[in-house]
Amino acid sequence: MDWEPSVCSPWTRWSAGLLGAGWGGNAFAEHPAYSRASLQPCQRGAAIHAYTDQEHGHTVAESLARVTQPGSGRADIISTVEFNHTGELLATGDKGGRVVIFQREPESKTAPHSQGEYDVYSTFQSHEPEFDYLKSLEIEEKINKIKWLPQQNAAHSLLSTNDKTIKLWKITERDKRPEGYNLKDEEGKLKDLSTVTSLQVPVLKPMDLMVEVSPRRIFANGHTYHINSISVNSDCETYMSADDLRINLWHLAITDRSFNIVDIKPANMEDLTEVITASEFHPHHCNLFVYSSSKGSLRLCDMRAAALCDKHSKLFEEPEDPSNRSFFSEIISSVSDVKFSHSGRYMLTRDYLTVKVWDLNMEARPIETYQVHDYLRSKLCSLYENDCIFDKFECAWNGSDSVIMTGAYNNFFRMFDRNTKRDVTLEASRESSKPRAVLKPRRVCVGGKRRRDDISVDSLDFTKKILHTAWHPAENIIAIAATNNLYIFQDKANSDMH
C-alpha cells in the first residue's frame, strides 16, 4: 500500500499488510484542559489548538508536542472510550463523572488531510458522587461505560453509567434562534399588552452554533452490585446492564422497572464461585447475548428460550492445561472484556495475559489465541502484591474484523493481524505525539542480548497502563486512553482514500 501522512500527525512504517501501515496521531493534552463546561474554542491551527477556560480566565494550549504534566488528579483519569456508529463522534468518560465528546473535523481545502483530526464538540457532567445512607455506601461518580444509540434523527443519544445509575443523554445542535414574538420581548419577558398594536410573524435568525446536552432518562435502582457493562440491543428499543451477579433488560422509554434476565446469585453467598465480568448483545440477532465470568467462561444466551436465562444455550470454555496450573491461574483466566465481531460470527475476549477469538459454532476452544505480554508470567507474584494483576484490559476489533487491538503496561498497546499472523507493539508517549514523529514498534526483552531500542521487562512502568481502546467502525482510526491522556492515531490509507 502507498501511505501518506496527514499534515500534523506523527507516523510509523511497519512491514507489509495492515500491520505494515503507518499510523499518525493526535495527543489530547491533560484531561482538565478540555473537560470544563465553560470551555470554548478560540483558535485552531494544524498542530496547536487552543481553548479558553473562561472560569479561570486563561488559555490552555493543546499542542501535539505536549502531552501531559505530572500531578494530574485522579478525577481526570479516562475510564471509557467509545466511537459512535459512524465514527464521526468519539466520547470519553472519566473518574470525575465527566463526558467529553469529540467531533471529527471535515476535510478542508487548506488542509486536505485533516479528516482524521477530532476536536472538542461538547463536555458535560454526567454523574455526581452520591451516598447511600441506607447501606452507608459511597457511590463514586466514575463513568464505567458509554454506549451510543443508533442515530434516528439530527440528534445524537448516548447512555452513560456509573456503579449504580444509568443515564440517557440527548445531544442537539442549535444555530438559529426565533425573534419577533408578539407577546414577549428579546429577553423572553411578557410585554405590556397595551403596547402591542400590530401582529408580526416571528422569524429565525442565525446565531453561533450551540451544542446542547440534556438528560432524557435516568434509570436507577436496578442494581444491587456495581454495574460493569451496558449494551444496546439491535432492536434499538432495549438495552441491558450487567453487574457482578445479575443482568437486567431495560426499555429505553421506561425508567421505573427492568426485567432480570440473568441471576447467578446463590442462596448462600458462601457458595459463590464466580461473578459476571462483561456482557454484550449480538450485533444482528436481538434475542442473543453473551456474558463472561471470572472463571474464564463465556455463556451465550437466547431470550426466546426463557424469561430468565439461567440456562445458557452455549458454553465456551477452554480446558485448563494442568502443567500451567498455579496460585494465579484463576485470577489471570478471568475475562475482563468480551466483544462480538461486526459480522456476528466471532467473539473476542481479553484475559490478563491473552486475547482469544472464539467461533460461535465451536465451543470447545478458541480458534485463535494471542499472547499480549507473556513475559509477565514470571512477574505474577509482584503484580499480585501491587494489585496490577486485577487490572481490566479491554479489546477491540477493526471494521473488517481482520485486526484486533488491546492495551498493555508502559503505555504499550498491541495489534494482531489475523490474516498475516503478524503482531506489533506500539507506545503512546510524549515522543510519539510530536509532529512528524515516528511511531516505532517496541520490543520487550526478557533476558540475554538486548538491542539498543529494546526495553527490559524489569524497566516496565506498571502505573502507565492502557486499559481502554476503541477502533473507528469503518476506518483505521484508533483511540487510546492512557491514564489522563487521549491519543488518536490514523493510518495513512485514510489520507489516500479521501
Q: Measured between alpha carbons, how far is 466 from 407 in angstroms, rounded to an integer? A: 5
pLDDT at 448: 67
Q: What average pLDDT does this structure show over 420-449?
A: 79
Q: What average pLDDT does this structure show over 47-56?
A: 31
Contacts of 430 by beta carbon, 8 Å cutoff, 6+ apart? 27, 67, 68
Q: How many CB atoms lie within 10 A of CB 372?
A: 24
Q: What average pLDDT does this structure show over 165-179?
A: 90
Q: Contact at 8 Å (CB) between 165 and 206?
A: no
pLDDT at 24: 61
Q: What average pLDDT does this structure show over 318-324?
A: 84
Q: What average pLDDT does this structure show over 274-301?
A: 97
pLDDT at 436: 56
Residue 370 has pLDDT above 70, yes or no: yes
Q: Contact at 8 Å (CB) between 418 and 402?
A: yes
Residue 211 has pLDDT above 60, yes or no: yes
Residue 114 has pLDDT above 60, yes or no: no
Among the listed residues 390, 401, 406, the one whose alpha carbon sits nearest the alpha carbon of residue 355: 406
pLDDT at 1: 30
User: Which is higher by pLDDT, 388 or 135?
Assistant: 388
Q: What average pLDDT does this structure show over 203-222?
A: 90
pLDDT at 12: 32
3-state secondary structure of 381: helix
Q: What average pLDDT does this structure show over 197-220?
A: 87
Sheet (strand 58-63) strand order: 39-44, 48-53, 58-63
Q: What is the DSSP annotation of 127-146?
A: ---EEETTTTEEE-----EE
From residue 254, alpha-carbon distances to 115, 117, 258, 286, 303 in Å are 39, 37, 8, 18, 19
Residue 23 has pLDDT above 70, yes or no: no
Residue 433 has pLDDT above 70, yes or no: no
> Which range among 43-52, 196-205, 352-361 shows the weakest confidence by mean pLDDT?
43-52
Q: Give the pLDDT confidence of 139-149 residue by residue, as tens digits.
A: 999 999 999 99
What band does 25 get if pLDDT is binned at 50, 70 and 90? low
Backbone angles phi, psi at 432, to 5 degrees: -70, -10
Residue 292 has pLDDT above 70, yes or no: yes
Residue 18 has pLDDT above 70, yes or no: no
User: Which is higher by pLDDT, 442 or 187?
Assistant: 442
Q: Measured between alpha carbons, how far is 303 from 259 in angstroms, rounded to an integer? A: 12
Q: What average pLDDT does this structure show over 281-300?
A: 97
Q: What average pLDDT does this structure show over 143-163?
A: 97
The three grid cell numbers given for residue 150, joined into one nine-digit string: 443508533
Among the listed residues 123, 96, 143, the one whose alpha carbon sits nearest the alpha carbon of residue 35: 123
Q: What average pLDDT does this structure show over 47-66?
A: 30
Residue 50 has pLDDT above 70, yes or no: no
> Which range among 190-204, 222-236, 279-293 shows the weakest confidence by mean pLDDT?
190-204
Q: Measured between alpha carbons, how far is 206 from 484 in angstroms, rounded to an integer? A: 37
Among the listed residues 414, 486, 490, 496, the one whose alpha carbon sits nearest the alpha carbon of residue 11: 490
User: Which is higher by pLDDT, 492 or 420?
Assistant: 420
Q: Measured between alpha carbons, how far is 372 from 52 in angstroms, rounded to an integer? A: 41
> Which range among 42-51, 177-186, 310-319 shows the weakest confidence by mean pLDDT?
42-51
Residue 464 has pLDDT above 70, yes or no: yes
Q: What average pLDDT does this structure show over 240-264?
A: 97
Q: Give the pLDDT confidence of 93-104 residue by residue, as tens digits.
A: 999 999 999 999
What band does 78 get if pLDDT is binned at 50, 70 and 90? very high
User: Which is higher by pLDDT, 29 or 151?
Assistant: 151
Q: What average pLDDT does this structure show over 28-39?
A: 36
pLDDT at 482: 94
Q: Measured between alpha carbons, how far is 348 from 356 in angstroms, rounded to an integer? A: 6
pLDDT at 410: 94
Q: What share of the chain in percent tops pLDDT 70?
A: 80
Residue 267 has pLDDT above 90, yes or no: yes
The three grid cell numbers given for residue 335, joined into one nine-digit string: 475475562
Q: Measured between alpha carbons, how far is 127 from 269 in angstroms, rounded to an integer? A: 31
pLDDT at 494: 53
Residue 52 has pLDDT above 50, yes or no: no
Q: What average pLDDT does this structure show over 173-188?
A: 77
Q: Share the mean pLDDT of the chain.
A: 83
Residue 470 has pLDDT above 50, yes or no: yes
User: Which is higher by pLDDT, 46 or 346?
Assistant: 346
pLDDT at 202: 80
Q: What average pLDDT does this structure show over 388-400?
A: 97
